């Protein structure tokens, strides 16, 4: 009797599997296909599982291997989507960083052109709470940061909702097949 440990990957089990061509009735095919769909399995995995169960192999020993195979397929399918989202996030963060650096350099340049003698003094923002202008500048910075954070969260929630809807549509499409 073959013993496929739960820890083995699908790829490592390929050496253990054997290709067989079988003939089954339309009714049998339909029932196996339905059971495979309900279990989230391929047709081949369903046939093997049902055969092992029919030969008296305890379901408790058969199902962990099937579940492991199913999880492996799900992770494999979703990994590329997850990697794509991470790369988009990284690119967007770098673009925002570059834009903010560019704007800051432009502001510094304007201040330097406007008053070269007092440039450093004009650019400094005091941390003294009594300095009302500096306090306003810091408050404005905090408000802009808060608004940017809220806008980013709102935008990402919308994207996440779109992904959830897409995943639901894909799942529904798989069950329709």
Residue 138 to residue 127: CA distance in whole angstroms: 9
Residue 116 lies in a domain: no
Structurally, the chain folds into a number of domains equal to: 2
Domain containing 7 equals 1-96
Among residues 79, 96, 113, the one where a domain terminates is: 96
Residue 29 pLDDT > 90, yes or no?
A: yes
Residues 154 and 92 in one domain: no
Residue 135 lies in a domain: yes
Residues 66 and 12 in one domain: yes
List all residues 6 or more positions away from 82 whose beta carbon is below 8 Å from its beta carbon.
none
pLDDT tens per residue across span 115-172: 989 888 888 888 888 989 889 988 998 998 888 888 887 877 777 777 777 777 776 6
41: left (phi over 0), alpha (psi -120 to 50) or beta: beta
Residue 51 to residue 48: CA distance in whole angstroms: 5
Q: pTM of the prediction?
A: 0.38
Least confident of 1-15, 45-59, 157-171: 1-15
List all residues 6 or more positions away from 152 whose beta carbon is below 8 Å from its beta carbon.
none
Residue 111 lies in a domain: no
Residue 104 lies in a domain: no
Residue 53 to residue 50: CA distance in whole angstroms: 5
Residues 92 and 129 in one domain: no
Residues 6 and 58 in one domain: yes
Residue 40 lies in a domain: yes
Residues 2 and 84 in one domain: yes
pLDDT tens per residue across span 12-26: 655 566 778 889 999
Could you tell me which of 72, 101, 58, 88 has the C-alpha nearest to residue 12? 72
Residue 129 to residue 13: CA distance in whole angstroms: 69
Residues 88 and 133 in one domain: no
């Amino acid at each position: 009797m073959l013993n496929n440990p739960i820890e083995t990957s699908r790829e490592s089990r390929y050496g253990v599997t054997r290709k067989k061509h079988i003939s089954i009735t339309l009714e049998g095919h339909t029932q196996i296909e339905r059971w495979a769909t309900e279990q989230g399995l391929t047709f081949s995995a369903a046939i093997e599982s049902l055969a092992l169960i029919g030969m008296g192999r305890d379901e408790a020993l058969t199902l962990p291997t099937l579940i492991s195979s199913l999880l492996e397929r799900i992770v494999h399918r979703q990994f590329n989507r997850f990697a794509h989202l991470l790369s988009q996030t990284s690119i967007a963060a770098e673009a925002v960083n570059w834009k903010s650096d560019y704007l800051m350099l432009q502001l510094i340049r304007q201040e330097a052109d406007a008053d070269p003698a007092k440039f450093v003094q004009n650019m400094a923002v005091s941390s003294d709470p009594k300095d009302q202008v500096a306090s306003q500048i810091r408050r404005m910075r905090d408000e802009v940061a808060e608004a940017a954070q809220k806008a980013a969260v709102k935008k990402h929630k919308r994207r996440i909702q779109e992904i959830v809807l897409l995943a639901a549509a894909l799942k529904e499409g798989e069950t329709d097949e």
